[in-house]
Chains A and B, each alone.
Chain A
Amino acid sequence: MIGIIVVTHLEIATRMIEAAERMFGKQDKLLGLDLKSDDSLQSMTQKIAGAVTDCIHNDECRDGILILTDLFGSTPTNASLAQIAATRRPIEVLTGVNLPMLASAINNRSRLTLAELSAKALYDGQKGIRDAKSILMSRVVAQKS
């Protein structure tokens, strides 16, 4: 199984997982880590290392781990990237996590390899960002004409 770890500022990660689990039901090996105001880069790196080790323990994440973070350049991402040097396990890190990206990762993890899943979740996350009003308006205009 591919493990999924969401790492964000404050409680975005746990809340986003809560929302995703309302849609898809309770998930195995899906973990949210929140960067609190009193976390340092070091304490956050340790938290993620702990989660990675837990996932690897029992060999449950033998197919790798996909880490989804919120902001490129921020502590959640910096601490996640530190894992790549620290472990030989296959880990991918994507930034800009949103619900479409997380949904895609959950939906596709049992049928894809880690590299494929990472590419798919990235694509679906980007595709989920739309200018909703202009899509609606263009359809309304198209119907009228």
Chain B
Amino acid sequence: MLFRIDDRLLHGQVIEGWIKPLGIRRVVIISETLSKDPVQPELMRMVVPDGTEVHLLDVAQACERLKEQAASGGKTLVLAPSPSEALELVRAGVRLEIVNVGGLHAQNAAAQISPSLSLGASDWKTLKKILEAGVRLEAQPIPTEPPMDLSDWLAKSGTLF
């Protein structure tokens, strides 16, 4: 199971960069608001390659379902719009070894790691908590670029927030 934090959720980079080349067969999107949106759920199902399942779950449902799946591996991509969903999952006992921090675009960002990673104070704090729970955090926009371990950066960047 691949776990990615990306506030654009299912978009070009994820579909062309991850889902197609890695042959992802199941996408799980964790969001409290998405399932209430009139357009987005259908859109998310429409844009994936044929035969790929898309599941929209709220955090509670995701905690329940991913506990079993996390261990089983398989070609599943889990997308969350912010670090807070990831932290809730970890606290609920979902075993995540690596969390890919793919895209965060804070409006009043205090720090920018890369063009697609701008963090506000609350995201920074949440990522720090995920790290402290023993999860490896990697910034990696697409699989063909090397992942960057965020632990050093998080350790040093506290003064920015």
Contacts and interface: CB of A to CB of B under 8 A. Distances in A.
Q: Do A and B bind each other?
A: yes
Interface of A: 9, 36-43, 71-75, 77-78, 81-82, 84-85
B107 A78 contact: no
B12 A74 contact: yes
B140 interface: no
Interface string B105-118: 10100001001101
A62 to B, nearest CB: 24
B31 to A, nearest CB: 11
Q: Could you say which interface size class chain B belongs to?
A: 20 to 34
Nearest to A37: B115
B40 interface: yes
A36 B7 CA distance: 14
Nearest to A40: B105
27 contacts: A36-B115, A37-B115, A38-B105, A38-B112, A38-B115, A38-B116, A40-B7, A41-B9, A41-B11, A42-B7, A43-B107, A73-B12, A73-B47, A73-B48, A74-B11, A74-B12, A75-B11, A77-B47, A78-B11, A78-B40, A81-B39, A81-B43, A82-B39, A82-B40, A84-B39, A85-B37, A85-B38
